[in-house]
């Protein structure tokens, strides 16, 4: 996909539901936090290879970014710069996720970490007009206590920009330690999502739906391996946060033409296109749209459809969705993007 194809999608309004803070540190952002960092060192230490051995290998690479995000000021700078980059990419709403308990090495309390992040998204929205909210992640290898602590943080900051909880990390770890935290979220009426169906197959998605009670799945692309599950997802409007290039990078699929996104879409599954990690994967939503258009012949109406699906699945109240819907529909009506 050539540069001109990417640019043609640049101003198309976009909703991004799956973007990790600690894997979206651009070079511009990283060098501000680590003066003297060279671009070659950045690409070596902060960007994963185009093809990793697997998801576990991929998950080794965020460590450099996380190490830079151990101070409140650094978290604020990183989030505000990410929101500027989202603006440049045509994003009008984003749910930015991160695990607060990974940012305590510099002496911050978990509450101080989330406070800094909440302040940053509000400042970022005032500066750019991009509406952003936070999802707090617990991780598969965390203990019951750590997951409950994360859930408590979600509740504590639910009126300050935190809109839900996520379960991320290596799917080889059991869901069991996290079930109490997700039940607590359900009792509080707070929506959740969970990574599943990425490294593991369709059974991983089924487990997340059954034991965590989520209505959104991070990735979920291996659902295609079970036609019954695909029908269930479509029937119950379970939303999949699909990250095409990331799935190639972790070898879920060997080439984009084999990716399940188009088959899931044609089967009526609610889904959205996302970057996952803009730095670690070195991508933008404009690039992801261009790649999907090239691989599957998607037209402007298809991208509008998945953005509508994303907005419907967003963890926002109806009145805020309506404001975004007006911006989304108006943007497509004015776009000069040619259909294919």
Q: Which fold has domain 3-327?
A: TIM Barrel (3.20.20)
> pLDDT tens digits for 200-224?
999 999 999 999 999 999 999 999 9
Using the structure block, give the residue that is written with the tokens 């680590």: 34
Give the pLDDT score at 337: 45
Neighbours of 167 (CB within 10 A): 26
Residues 83, 96, 251: CA angle, nearest 5 degrees: 110
Give the pLDDT score at 36: 92
Could you give the residue numbers annotated as active site? 198
Q: What is the pTM of this model?
A: 0.93
Give the pLDDT score at 54: 78
> pLDDT confidence of 11, banded at 50, 70, 90?
confident
334 CB-near residues (< 8 Å, 6+ apart) = none
For residues 11 and 54, the answer to whether their CB atoms sit within 8 Å is: no
CA distances from 33 to 38, 117, 152 (A): 12, 16, 29
Give the pLDDT score at 339: 40
C-alpha closest to that of 325 among 312, 340, 315, 338 = 312
Whether pLDDT at 49 is above 90: no
Whether pLDDT at 7 is above 50: no
Question: Can you list the pairs that 119-127 forms with residues at least 24 positions away whose Cβ atoms lie under 8 Å?
Answer: 119/76, 120/75, 120/76, 120/77, 120/78, 120/79, 120/80, 120/83, 121/79, 121/83, 121/96, 121/161, 122/161, 123/76, 123/80, 124/79, 124/80, 124/82, 124/83, 124/84, 125/83, 127/80, 127/83, 127/84
Give the pLDDT score at 1: 37
Q: Count Cα neighbours of 64 within 13 Å in the Cβ-side half-sphere.
A: 21
Whether pLDDT at 233 is above 80: yes
> pLDDT tens digits for 80-121?
999 999 999 999 999 999 999 999 999 999 999 999 999 999
Give the pLDDT score at 203: 97
């Amino acid at each position: 996909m050539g540069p001109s194809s990417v640019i043609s999608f640049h101003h198309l309004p976009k909703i991004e539901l799956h973007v990790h803070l600690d894997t979206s540190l651009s070079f511009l952002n990283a060098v501000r936090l680590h003066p003297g960092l060279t671009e070659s060192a950045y690409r070596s230490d902060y960007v994963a290879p185009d093809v990793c051995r697997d998801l576990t290998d991929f998950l080794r690479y965020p460590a450099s970014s996380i190490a830079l995000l151990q101070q409140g000021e650094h978290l604020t700078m990183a989030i505000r710069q990410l929101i500027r980059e989202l603006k440049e990419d045509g994003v009008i709403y984003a749910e930015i996720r991160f695990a607060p308990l990974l940012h305590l090495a510099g002496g911050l309390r978990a509450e101080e970490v989330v406070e800094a992040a909440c302040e940053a998204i509000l400042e970022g929205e005032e500066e750019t007009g991009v509406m952003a909210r936070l999802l707090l992640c617990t991780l598969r290898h965390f203990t019951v206590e750590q997951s409950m602590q994360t859930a408590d943080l979600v509740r504590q900051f639910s009126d300050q920009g935190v809109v839900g909880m996520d379960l991320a990390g290596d799917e080889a770890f059991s869901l069991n330690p996290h079930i109490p935290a997700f039940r607590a979220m359900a009792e509080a009426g707070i929506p959740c999502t969970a990574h599943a169906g990425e490294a593991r197959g369709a059974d991983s998605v089924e487990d997340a739906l059954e034991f965590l009670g989520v209505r959104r799945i991070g990735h979920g692309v291996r659902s295609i391996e079970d036609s019954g599950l695909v029908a269930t997802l479509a029937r119950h409007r379970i939303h999949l946060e699909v990250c095409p290039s990331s799935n190639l990078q972790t070898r879920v699929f060997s080439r984009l033409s084999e990716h399940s996104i188009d088959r899931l879409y044609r089967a009526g599954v609610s889904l959205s296109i996302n970057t996952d990690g803009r730095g670690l994967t070195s991508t933008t939503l404009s690039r992801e749209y261009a790649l999907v258009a090239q691989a599957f012949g998607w037209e402007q109406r298809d991208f509008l459809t998945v953005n509508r699906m994303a907005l419907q699945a967003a963890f926002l109240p109806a009145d805020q969705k309506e404001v975004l819907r007006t911006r989304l529909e108006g943007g497509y009506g004015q776009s000069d993007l040619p259909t294919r």
